[in-house]
């Protein structure tokens, strides 16, 4: 009987040790290929980002986030080539309204559309099996957010961009209703509310009647959630908050955000360049 007790005790201890080992391994796991790909993208190493995302797709052929992430790299490469992400452009409504229509790279546009179509198909398949599939819902929201950015920033098709923004926000809300800690999804809600909240009161009323969300402060709150707790989209949310700070003439906050981004992504000259412009101006807060 004593031998049996000792054996049972040893077995229980062994189980505890194994469980602790599994938990420790999970907590100490390094970044995934997707993490690496996004870091490369934010550092403007688009060739390596595409290679990393496409490797992920080969290893995870049913994951819609793979091709959606690859599409993000195509979009950001166009942003970089066309010098789209300039804080001063977004801080001045007149300059933004009079911005030139960009000339996109046709081959990049084809690749961008192709990868988004692939992501849509994979997301639809996953959601047909499980309508609450968090990864598929996020991929769907991300895909429409990317389409919105391309339509607005490159093609200057504002109405089409608004339509994609609403689709992205609707999907994000569905995702967050089930998984409120999926912080990357808050960006879709934040972008719609903040950008549309900047319009005049009569236009906001009309947009609201049309189903759009137009609360600027709510938008900023959601962007902060992604910036502080998000995963893949946290750096982009911080850049958008820097834009918002410049618009609000809060140069100190904009500098803090840009300094953090410049340190995290040293091979991206955008952050340092925009920071240098702000440092030439007197602090307003």
Return the structure tokens found at 76. Answer: 């950001």
Return the structure tokens found at 94. Answer: 């007149």
Contact of 261 with 238, CB cutoff 8 Å:
yes
Which residues, 6 or more positions from 157, have their beta carbon under 8 angstroms from its beta carbon? 151
Distance CA 176, CA 186 (A): 8
Average pLDDT, the chain: 78
Range in 13-22, 196-205, 227-236, 240-249 with the lowest mean pLDDT: 13-22
Average pLDDT over residues 128-137: 97
Q: How do residues 216-255 score in pLDDT, each as one tens digit?
A: 677 788 889 999 999 999 999 998 888 888 877 888 988 9
Return the structure tokens found at 92. Answer: 């001045």
Q: Using alpha carbons only, what angle is made at residue 96 by residues 92 and 102, rounded to the nearest 5 degrees?
A: 150
Distance CA 100, CA 116 (A): 26
Which residues, 6 or more positions from 240, have their beta carbon under 8 angstroms from its beta carbon? 187, 190, 191, 194, 223
- The answer, yes or no, to whether residue 58 has pLDDT greater than 80, is yes
Q: How do residues 74-91 score in pLDDT, each as one tens digit?
A: 999 998 888 877 655 455
213 in helix, strand or coil? coil
Percent of the chain with pLDDT over 70: 73
- The answer, yes or no, to whether residue 50 has pLDDT greater than 50, is yes
Res 153: pLDDT? 81
- The answer, yes or no, to whether residue 1 has pLDDT greater than 50, is no
- The answer, yes or no, to whether residue 97 has pLDDT greater than 70, is no
In terms of average pLDDT, the best of 72-76, 98-102, 222-226, 273-277 is 72-76
- The answer, yes or no, to whether residue 151 has pLDDT greater than 60, is yes
Average pLDDT over residues 59-76: 96
How sure is the predictor about 14, in pLDDT bands with cuts at 50, 70 and 90?
Answer: very low
Distance CA 53, CA 75 (A): 14
Taken in order 26, 30, 33, 35, the sign of the CA dihedral is positive
Reduced 3-state DSSP string for 153-191: HHCCCHHHHHHHHHHHHHHHHHHHHHCCCCHHHHHHHHH
Res 17: pLDDT? 33
Res 266: pLDDT? 93
How sure is the predictor about 171, in pLDDT bands with cuts at 50, 70 and 90?
Answer: very high
Res 55: pLDDT? 97
HSE-CB at 15 with a 13 A cutoff on CA atoms is: 6
Residue 214's φ and ψ, nearest 5 degrees, are: -130, 35
Distance CA 68, CA 91 (A): 29
Res 161: pLDDT? 80
- Domains, the chain, ranges and CATH? 32-279 (1.25.40.10)
- The answer, yes or no, to whether residue 19 has pLDDT greater than 70, is no
């Amino acid at each position: 009987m004593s031998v049996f007790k000792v054996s049972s005790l040893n077995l229980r201890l062994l189980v505890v040790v194994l469980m602790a080992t599994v938990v420790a391994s999970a907590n100490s796991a390094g970044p995934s290929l997707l993490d690496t790909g996004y870091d490369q993208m934010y550092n403007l190493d688009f060739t390596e980002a595409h290679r990393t995302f496409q490797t992920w797709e080969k290893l995870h052929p049913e994951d819609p986030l793979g091709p959606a992430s690859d599409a993000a790299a195509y979009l950001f490469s166009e942003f970089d080539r066309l010098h789209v992400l300039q804080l001063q452009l977004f801080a001045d409504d007149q300059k933004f309204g009079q911005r030139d229509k960009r000339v996109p790279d046709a081959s990049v546009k084809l690749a961008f559309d192709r990868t988004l179509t692939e992501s849509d198909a994979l997301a639809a398949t996953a959601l047909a099996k499980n309508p609450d599939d968090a990864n598929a819902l996020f991929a769907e929201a991300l895909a429409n957010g990317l389409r919105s950015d391309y339509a607005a920033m490159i093609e200057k098709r504002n109405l089409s961009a608004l339509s994609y923004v609403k689709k992205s926000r609707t999907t994000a809300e569905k995702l967050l209703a089930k998984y409120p800690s999926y912080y990357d999804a808050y960006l879709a809600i934040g972008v719609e509310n903040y950008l549309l909240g900047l319009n005049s009161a009569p236009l906001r009323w009309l947009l609201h009647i049309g189903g759009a969300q137009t609360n600027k402060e709510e938008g900023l709150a959601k962007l902060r959630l992604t910036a502080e707790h998000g995963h893949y989209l946290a750096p982009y949310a911080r850049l958008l908050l820097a834009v918002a700070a410049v618009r609000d003439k809060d140069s100190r906050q904009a500098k803090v955000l840009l300094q953090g981004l410049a340190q995290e992504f040293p091979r991206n000259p955008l952050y340092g360049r925009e920071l240098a412009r702000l440092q030439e101006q007197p602090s307003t807060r």
